[in-house]
A and B are shown apart, each in its own frame.
Chain A
Amino acid sequence: MSHGAVNNQRITKLATVRTVPYMTRRRTSRRRALVLGLTAASAVVLGGCAKDAPQDTWQPKGENAQKIHDLQWPIFMVAGIVGVIVMSVVAFVVVRYRDKGQPMPEQTHGKPALEIALTILPALILVGVGIPTVSTIFDLAESSDTECIINVTGQQWWWEYDYPAQEGCGGIPTPIVTSGQLVIPANTNVMLRLTSRDVIHSFWIPSLNGKKDTVPGRVHSLRMQANQPGIYAGQCTEFCGLSHANMKMEAVALDQADFDTWVANQLEEYVRPEAGSQAALGEATFTANCAYCHQVNGLSTTSPDGEVTPVLANPDQFVVSGAAPNLTHLMTRNTFAGATWDLLTQECRDRVWNASPEEFGALYLQGVTEECLNAVDLREWLRNAPAKKPMYASDAQKAESGGKVRGMPALGLNETQIDQIIAYLLERN
């Protein structure tokens, strides 16, 4: 990501703030303070040029995260300053009052006036912290100004997003179901309605907002807004079992025109693969092996006498959570298997992630092309999913979970079948 001058300045400032807790960590002496100062300075330099982790909590990219940030950095500053003061005093005391053979000190039991003053002082600081805290809490719970609703459902170990038909988001005529990547219009106040199908998960895109738990049986709301088109990383943050670490997500913000394109694309009719092609064989293999859990909208079978039957997935009969990702437009998203692996090769992925806000939309809407497909991970996944991502999907584990799997079982596909399925999936764009 290329930082403009302003951007760079902000990052430098952030880095300065961020070093405070580390400074406070060490026991201080003058020499050590000097070393620390140098370290902190180098941290600023390094932090200024290098790219921080995608889930950095100190780089807000949307209004909500910005509100949190505006609240938290002064508090980190205050905490840092208090820490430095305490440590300096301790260091001073340790040096000044070490046993140099002085006589027994006066046996003073305390000075109540000083004590009371030193109790009131932190209380005042905390009042100063408390007031903006409370107002930010209520700001972030505001729901009257949101224009677009997306339902977010967590289950072991992936996220499903469904867009109810609405006039918000620039108009969505028919519901859309997708997973892994949450696509939102940029510069729009989006309201996420969060719930879960099995255990508690937590939805978190650090650069857009703080996290909120998704609790089965409850619906929580969370505001989302991104200032610019781009891709923002996130991860499930409530421990949810075996593959908690592999339950990631990404939010993708598109400007309104691109978002409309994306919506139109999601609602495109199903196109049957060309008869006799590898993809057509793949359609049959998919129908036989995958379609009982994974829905592809529009997929159907035709009996010899010409009767067309839609293929409907019944994941509720096979999976504990009762859901499996909808694959209708798999190749419009860049990730699979709980957004843990990329559908894009490293090179293509970097291009998307490093795109400027202006170029991003077009690049993202290209989806996954054949050249860009990361076939290695996808093949491994199709060969033996639980070996790649720990899940409860073996026969023995199935028996323990009431005869249903949690996650995707190993399907025992051979290489030919895998080739066919990949060819078929490549056309799901």
Chain B
Amino acid sequence: MAIIERPDTVPALAGAGAPAVVTPAKAFGVLRRPVATTGWRSWVFTVDHKKLGIMYGVVAMFFFLVGGVEALLIRLQLAGPEGTVLSAGLYNEMFTMHATTMIFLFVMPMAAAFANYMIPLQIGARDVAFPRINAFGFWCFLAGGLFLNTSWFLGGAADGGWFMYQPNANALFSPSHGIDFWGLGLQITGIASLTGALNLIVTILNMRAPGMTLMKMPIFTWMILVVQFLLVFAIPVITVALFLLMFQREFDATFFDVSSGADPLLWQHLFWIFGHPEVYILVLPAFGMVSEILPVFSRKPLFGYRFVVFSGAAIGFVGWGVWAHHMFASGLGPVSVAVFSVATMLIAIPTGVKIVNWTLTMWGGKLWFTTSMLFAIGLVVQFTIGGLSGVTHAVAPSDTQQTDTYYIVAHFHYVIFGGAVLGFFAGFYYWWPKMFGKMLSERIGKWNFWLMIIGMNLTFGPMHVIGLQGMPRRTMNWTEARAGEGFFNIGFWNRVSSVGSFVLAVGVGMFLLNVWQTHKKSSTTAKAPLDPWDARSLEWMTASPPKEHNFDSIPTVHALDEFFHRKYEVDHDSGDVRKVASGEEILAAEEAKGDKHIHLPSPSYWPVILAFALPVMGYGVIYNRLLIVVGGFIVLLAMFAWALEPSVADDSDYDPPADGGGTNKELATIG
């Protein structure tokens, strides 16, 4: 449904109009442009940010389950002393891939899913700035993720830990192809992140609705903007590291070969210069989500919007100066350690600002405990724990007792699971009616929330004890001899943690059950109301799910929380708030002045073809250099075809509008 001819008679609330019948011109020599509006072709060749957002979400969720199964196997292995569920080699592959999958194939793309779907809606745009690049990014992510995971069937996955420290990741010490797949796979997903970042920055900066100044932007959009800037500058650094790794393993260079005089710390610096901003890349999107959700369910604006914006930017900025706190035990020398230790403490300040603002947003509010709100409050509490344990190892001497133990594992799971993942679930429940037009069950949702919260605390809480009792991470087993006795013994808490991981798994299962219950054929779930949460931002000022062109007319923005201010009148003297319009009325008014003929960017074959040529080159690097040439040829061909294909189809590709007028190719907004 790339081409929208909105029939004037169909009201927008009833959904999109009937698909138009089109006859595409030959776009490039032999191939006609794809025009399917239904079936798999409408997804594979789509450039619609909403469809791509959904696909990002579905694939990321799939990888979440893969990474989850890997985690459960790890916990099974550690449930008892000297576990034998996995062999030593398989265990190493398992924790390497668990981290890699969760970080690169779940959290990052899930944030991309939300960003893709919501950003254009939140800023009042009809699509992103570069729709085909957007599609290309998604297919790169999928191609890279699948490529990475084929290593399981081709001689074993990567086994060097997600940090892939050198020289342990050299071919001599890891002879299987796992690390080759890892490096090349991450290069491919890195392309997805980089193109996605360029695209979203341009979209956010350039395509805002008229009147939406930077300080009137929804906070989620702001946080996504910060994250994309981090990506633009962090991805090239890991790209360099991965190239050096590939040259070392595949082309006999010696960048990390100590016998040739190399310094293994080079890898650590490159990796963590990327790796620390990466931490903020993981959590800031979720911070943005709860900063949207807490105000909605507190019926108050975000407390200290400016402070939250600036603290987010400050985290993004200071995040570049703290990478070496991952290396306090690496032997940097006391001066560097002291500098990075203090810098790391500094970053606690803007993070603390966020916690304070979220709490004060709820203060004096009228709290509505929906599942989404519970997850958001859960994030505030759980992330606080992760943040505070973070302060304990910002203190470098203390960190030398804690780094590489389970205490760190506990810390970053409270940060990433308690931060990013709880934020995502808050986002799922909040935006589900927007994306799919149906509400998820609140009853199952509560089960989902409580099981996940209990499960995560049972799983990751004991890891604080285990770590402080001296159990190193990345060890395939623990022994009774070093487990100790009494309340703090490692054995007991390991068992608790393993039980907890299954509670957590059931909690996640509840979400899947909820989705199935809501969307199964026999489901009786009614269509969601237009504005189920009494929301505040622009994405709710259109149909649910939104029509392909998002807005019938691009709204003009007058305030932060535009939608709220159209619904409510605030008496500034008394502070009284009075409802003056319903969401339906506002939408109807917007539709009445809708643009008649909206032409969107057209679908294309080339993004998906270009993306899937990359793993071909990847296999070529590993197995047969000839394949590199084949893949490279496809890449070049697809690039030329892409370059010659106009992003918006020719006039002749559209059926003439009913009223005989010309087309109005609307994408960028006026403002």
Contacts and interface: CB of A to CB of B under 8 A. Distances in A.
B258 interface: yes
A140 B595 CA distance: 70
Given A72-B398, A133-B397, A390-B88, A110 B307 contact: yes
A402 B348 CA distance: 48
Q: Which of A65, A94, A217, A220 neighbours the largest number of chain B CB atoms within 10 Å of its CB?
A: A217
Interface string B387-412: 01101100111111111110100000
B367 A98 contact: yes
B568 A104 contact: yes
A402 B175 CA distance: 10
Contact of A57 (B337, B389, B469): B469
B307 A115 contact: yes
Nearest to B460: A25
A108 B368 CA distance: 18
A204 B401 CA distance: 8
A47 B366 contact: no
A380 interface: no
A43 B367 CA distance: 36
B487 to A, nearest CB: 4
Contact of B329 (A68, A71, A213): A213
Interface in A14-73: 15, 18, 21-22, 24-27, 42-43, 46-47, 49-58, 65, 67-68, 71-72
B31 interface: no
Contacts of A122: 348-349, 352
Interface residues of A, number: 108
Contact of A237 (B261, B403, B485): B403
Given A68-B397, A115-B304, A212-B329, A237 B457 contact: no
A25 B461 contact: yes
B663 interface: no
A400 to B, nearest CB: 4
Contact of B487 (A42, A86, A215): A42
Interface stretch (B218-226, B353-361, B609-617): B353-361
A240 B168 contact: yes
B262 interface: yes
A218 B165 CA distance: 15
A90 interface: yes
Contact of A107 (B174, B368, B400, B575): B575
Contacts of B190: none
B488 A53 contact: yes
Nearest to A131: B342
A3 B338 CA distance: 36
Contacts of A199: 165, 167-168, 173
B488 A47 contact: yes
A98 B378 CA distance: 16
B160, B380, B391, B397 — which one has the most chain A CB atoms within 10 A of its CB? Answer: B397
Interface in B481-517: 481-490
B248 to A, nearest CB: 14
Contacts of A76: 392
Interface stretch (A158-166, A175-183, A242-250): A242-250
A408 interface: no
Interface in A141-171: 141, 156
B317 to A, nearest CB: 16
B570 interface: yes
Contacts of A209: 400
Interface string B234-265: 00000000000000000000000010011111
B304 A110 contact: yes
Nearest to B572: A107
Interface string B328-360: 011101100110011001101100110111011
A412 interface: no
Nearest to A39: B487
Interface centre among A57, A136, A233 (most CB of B within 10 A): A57
A82 interface: yes
A309 interface: no
B359 A93 contact: yes
Contacts of A46: 486-487
A32 B603 CA distance: 56
A99 interface: yes
A375 B464 CA distance: 37
B307 A108 contact: no
A126 interface: yes
Contact of B484 (A52, A108, A217, A402): A52
Contacts of B570: 107
A97 B367 contact: yes
Given A47-B488, A137-B338, A237-B472, A108 B401 contact: no
Given A137-B338, A241-B168, A320-B172, A126 B348 contact: yes
Contact of A18 (B263, B342, B401, B468): B468
A133 B341 contact: yes
A110 B306 contact: yes
Given A68-B400, A90-B377, A105-B366, A47 B304 contact: no
A75 interface: yes
B470 A244 contact: no
A89 interface: yes
Given A53-B489, A99-B368, A238-B404, A115 B353 contact: yes
A404 B300 CA distance: 68
Interface in A165-203: 194, 198-200, 202
A411 B263 CA distance: 36
Contact of B395 (A42, A72, A109): A72
A293 B391 CA distance: 47
A94 B362 contact: yes
A198 to B, nearest CB: 7
A275 interface: no
B457 A26 contact: yes
B470 A206 contact: yes
A233 to B, nearest CB: 6
A262 B576 CA distance: 84
Contact of A54 (B263, B381, B482): B482
B482 A53 contact: yes
Contact of B173 (A27, A80, A198): A198
Interface string A95-117: 00111001111111111101100
B644 to A, nearest CB: 48
B161 interface: yes
B264 A216 contact: yes
A137 B484 contact: no
A410 B635 CA distance: 50
B363 interface: yes
A53 B470 contact: yes
B217 to A, nearest CB: 15
Contacts of A87: 381, 384
A138 B338 contact: yes
Interface string B54-95: 000000000000000000000000000000000111001000
Given A202-B329, A210-B401, 19 more contacts: A22-B461, A25-B461, A65-B401, A72-B395, A104-B299, A107-B570, A108-B303, A122-B352, A129-B391, A133-B341, A138-B338, A141-B333, A199-B165, A212-B400, A215-B265, A237-B404, A239-B168, A239-B474, A402-B172
Top 10 closest A-B pairs, CB basis? A50-B486, A55-B470, A210-B400, A53-B484, A245-B475, A110-B304, A390-B88, A46-B487, A400-B175, A220-B331
28 contacts: A24-B384, A43-B488, A50-B485, A54-B481, A56-B469, A57-B469, A79-B391, A86-B355, A93-B363, A94-B362, A103-B366, A103-B576, A105-B299, A107-B301, A133-B338, A134-B341, A137-B397, A199-B165, A206-B401, A206-B470, A211-B329, A211-B404, A212-B331, A216-B167, A237-B472, A244-B474, A245-B88, A390-B87
Interface of B: 87-89, 92, 159-161, 165, 167-168, 172-175, 258, 261-265, 298-307, 329-331, 333-334, 337-338, 341-342, 345-346, 348-349, 352-353, 355-357, 359-360, 362-369, 377-378, 380-381, 384-385, 388-389, 391-392, 395-405, 407, 453, 457, 461, 464-465, 467-478, 481-490, 568, 570, 575-577
